[in-house]
Amino acid sequence: MLSKLLIVAGGVLAFRTQMEEDVKKFSSANWKVGARVEESEELAIEFWLKHDKEDIRDFEKELLELSTPGSARYGKWLSPEEVVEKLSPSREAIDAVLDFVVNDLGASDVHVIKHKSVVKVKVPAGAVERALETRLFHHTHVKYTKVDIVRVVEPYSLPTRVARHVSVVGELVRFPRMRFADVTPVVNLTAPENAASEWSACGTRYSAYVNPSVLAERYGFTFPKRTYASGNSIAVAEFQDEYYDDTDLEDFSELCGLSETITVSTTVGGNSATRCSVGLEPCIESLLDIEYAGAIAGAIPLQVYYSSSYSLLDLASTLSDADDPPLVISVSYGDDEAEQTGSAFMEAVNTAFMKNGASGISIIFAAGDQGVWGREGLGTEYHPDFPAGSPYVTAVGGTDFVTKSTIGDETAWEDGGSGFSDEFDTASWQTDEVSAYLKTDDLPSSSFYNADGRGYPDLSALAGEVNPYLISYKDGTYGGVSGTSAASPVVAAIIAQINDARLSAGKSSLGFLNPMLYAAGESGGCFNDVTSGTTDGGYSGGFTAEEGWDAATGYGTIIYSKLEEFALSY
């Protein structure tokens, strides 16, 4: 961190430290800078406290004991108090930050989350500018001009006595990637006459589109799911005006003949259903998540976690602070690691997700929809996704049916996010798989990727454009949507069903999934192996699907009966 010595009033010496010093850019082509904040505008900001590196390493060992099948402690997840006992900032650090936010920022609305690692405050913007020695401006999205966020336009700093305890102050720097659905209006496109009956489960007019019955036939989960075990739950995360409305959930449920109408049991963060009737965008992505997570999870209570600004830090802290957190959550948002503007941010998110996983929560992320080139596009190096490349989330890639409208073998979707992280090392539970894959013949030049990085995705589901997903949006308008943003809630709902089986058998939730998934992959028979297709993003290069785990589709797609059997054996 960069420090500077200042002479303040009265001649007193004060040291300050620039935060997130590897951040060099404070603008985005997709966001237009507007007016400077008003002095009195209230802002919600979070101070993420540092953890001792050795403590993090010890906690990771603890997490692996809890999440590795065969361990004596498998599934014995930690309470918030136990997480704090094993990994939390020092009392000195918490006190230093609290003293700063009260006496320097003048905050009266202060909250420390249960894990003791985040201090949340609401304060006037003018106080933030002065205390952090920066300037804040409104920014609007170039396409969706009603979306407004406040960001710094230059570095920010903290007094060194405070900065030594703080990793990042969120969200001041990052410009979120808006999640845009590529929805196509339904056309008179039907499956062949000899296609399986599941294709017509939502009506013959829509028989060329993936629906819940097609997914159930391919992956074998219980459908419809009419009961649930006490304590089970699933959630989807939505951001930035991605709301939902009951009208479209009812229309989709009725059209596809679901035994029960899809409903949301709890909304954390609010909802504005009327927005779903205006324009095309704001509800397409959220309705995709809810319609498919809800259809597959069935009776299992479905929650929606909503935040008006896209913030992984906010999501992680909200999960940590929840009295009744979901046992599995699907998040269909992400960015490139290179666009995350700093290691401190990614490491803070990574540690938070590690704590969530140790608490018994399965965190599932879409791997991305631009193949190996990511959202930055074609270049001299691949652009790995974040947080799909975090070792403490389960990354879901994408597939297509090999033969259109035929429920059978799958191939890698060319736009599925895939590859190796530049930020995080190969995870311990995947070293054998990564090593074996890197010995295969059909690999791109090693100059394009970090062969020592965490490999992803971990597994996949249908996501491509050969047969798009059917959704209801804007008061019963039907359209087709593709992307790993469809695959992620499907996988999350399948995991929720396996959680149901475990809870019914008196066992715990699956929690942090990856060691279990890789153990299941090694055992054989739990996944439909995908052995064709390359994630070149429509350009060139990319990773090709091979036998076993690969950096295109992970272990492939779930065979429900086998994965449930494996999960119940521990």
* Given 171, 251, 289, 400, the catalytic residue: 289
**Cα–Cα nearest to 364, from 233, 509, 487, 225:** 487
**Cα–Cα nearest to 331, from 376, 388, 370, 283:** 388
Write out the DSSP string of 282-295: TTHHHHHHHHHHHH
Residue 529 among known ligand-binding residues: yes
**Cα–Cα nearest to 439, from 548, 322, 330:** 548
Q: Where are the alpha helices (DSSP H) in 416-568?
A: 431-437, 484-504, 514-523, 560-568
Q: With residue 127 as reference, give the H or E element that holds it.
A: helix 125-132
Residue linked to tokens 């990727």:
449
* Given 285, 369, 385, 500, the catalytic residue: 285
C-alpha span between 365 and 27 (Å, rounded): 26
Q: With residue 61 as reference, give the H or E element that holds it.
A: helix 53-67
CB atoms within 10 A of CB 506: 7
Radius of gyration of the chain (CA): 23
C-alpha span between 289 and 489 (Å, rounded): 6
CA distances from 376 to 172, 248, 335, 339, 381 (A): 22, 34, 9, 8, 10
C-alpha span between 287 and 293 (Å, rounded): 10
Please say if 485 is a catalytic residue.
yes
Write out the DSSP string of 298-359: TTS-EEEEEESS--HHHHHHHHHH-SS--SEEEE---EEGGGG--HHHHHHHHHHHHHHHHT
Residue 530 among known ligand-binding residues: yes
C-alpha span between 362 and 523 (Å, rounded): 21
C-alpha span between 293 and 6 (Å, rounded): 54
SS3 of 73-112: CCCCCCCHHHHHHHCCCCHHHHHHHHHHHHHCCCCCEEEE
C-alpha span between 45 and 111 (Å, rounded): 11
* Given 167, 286, 485, 509, the catalytic residue: 485
Residue 369 among known ligand-binding residues: no
C-alpha span between 77 and 118 (Å, rounded): 21
**Is residue 39 exposed (0-12), middle (13-18) or buried (19+ Cβ within 10 Å)?**
exposed
Please say if 423 is a catalytic residue.
no
Residue linked to tokens 């992959």:
521
β-pairing verdict for 118-124 and 31-36: unpaired
Residue 548 among known ligand-binding residues: yes
Please say if 254 is a catalytic residue.
no
Is the bond into 457 cis (omega within 30 degrees of 0)?
A: yes
Active site residues: 285, 289, 485
Q: Which residues are annotated as a binding site for Ca(2+)?
A: 529-530, 548, 550
Q: Output the known binding site.
A: 529-530, 548, 550
